[in-house]
Amino acid sequence: MMVRSNVMKEKVVLHLFIFLCWIAPLSASAYESELPPAMQSSMPPPNLKAVSWVLMNPDTGVMIAAENPDEKMEPASLSKLLTAYIIFREIRRGNLSQEEEVVISENAWRTGGSRMFIEPGERISVENLLLGMIVQSGNDAAVALAEHVAGSEESFSGLLNQVAAELGLRNSHFVNSTGWPHPEHFSSARDISLIASAIIREFPEMYGYYSIREFTWNNITQHNRNPLLGRDESIDGVKTGHTEAAGYCLVGSAKRDGLRIVATVMGTESARYRADAVYSLLKYGFAAYEMHRVYRAGAAVVNAVPVYKGDRSSVAVGVSQDVQLILPKGAGAGLEASVTVNEPLIAPLDQQQQVGKLILGLEGKEIGAYPLVTLDAINQGSWTSRMLDVIRLRFR
């Protein structure tokens, strides 16, 4: 059985702003993308003077465009993204509370680099330490949180690597909570983008910490080190990083018209350049692409597929997860959907039982296939109805 559906074209007014004085187009072969060729924009991304960069959609985890995304590098303070992810997860699981007090150790107080300026023996809430780590990039706050969760920073590093594996980070290894330079502490632009995406996707209520402009502790006010906050009202995060070996690094994120983008640059030559580079990637992403939510989880794709030998004669089928596509601007008009069902469907059928496939195409080219599932359970019918359906099946 084939069922066709049309997707309405969305009218979008396009405004493109890119710094042409220092950004030139790349050739189509100069960057990587996880999008199928039919879903890639004809507009090339900017050419950046960075060791590596990634443009990603956190909702789908799809890497829209990238250059050297798996290059292993010092992540510097971008490491604190994974530290924050673990703290957020511990709060979600009920193992920590934001009001819970942490007694500051001398070890945390002595931590070098950027600081929140905590004092040994102070009792500080988890939330204030999070603000100190996120807004002020305080290494001392990160160590205090790591010690509170795992007993020591060394133990916390084991947790960092365990969670890194769970998130599918393939080019990362962490030995501390701060990003302090160490030969065995490294990550990549792809992995950092995946961490930022996980925070945005899994902890939207806590992601708001990354848009706070300043924080004061011990009468010392420090401004958020992310220079993109305030440059564009759609930008709401995420994190800077810098060491001599790492260069200047930055993860930025913004959302417009239902499309969320994360842009990561690593290994740039200056703080100014990293900000301009991330900003140009965000501008490019919104200029070249748009998000299409084609089907919602649990919504019927086909309302009535015939069922035999059941207590009902038909069942609605759909998808178990949202089907979202990142498409080039204006390409939605060419989107096509077809459904194949493994007929005949014979009861009993479980709810969410896979019974077919939803296939999406763009301009005649297949761009994705998704399991088609029953939206309700169908029980076996009476003896009489089953016998009648045996006859019907013979004459299908």
Beta-sheet strands, E only, within the chain: 3-6, 52-57, 62-67, 101-103, 123-125, 214-217, 220-223, 235-243, 247-256, 259-268, 289-295, 300-308, 314-318, 323-328, 335-341, 345-346, 354-362, 365-374
In 3D space, the residue among 130, 123, 169, 162 whose CA is nearest the CA of residue 146 turns out to be: 130
| Sign of the C-alpha dihedral computed for residues 11, 12, 14 and 15 taken in this order | positive
Pairing of strands 289-295, 314-318: unpaired
Q: Please indicate whether residue 137 is annotated as part of the active site.
A: yes
Active site residue 77: yes
Out of 41, 52, 77, 114, the active site residue is: 77
Integer CA distances (angstroms), 177 to 75, 152, 156, 243, 264, in order: 11, 10, 7, 15, 20
Question: Taking Cα atoms as reference points, which of 177, 179, 120 lies closest to residue 154?
Answer: 177
> 293 CB contacts (<8 Å, ≥6 apart)?
258, 322, 323, 324
Q: In whole angstroms, what is the distance from residue 142 CA to residue 108 CA?
A: 8
Q: Of residues 137, 197, 253, 280, which has the active-site annotation?
A: 137
Selecting among 80, 239, 283, 309, the annotated active-site residue is 80
Active site residues per annotation: 77, 80, 137
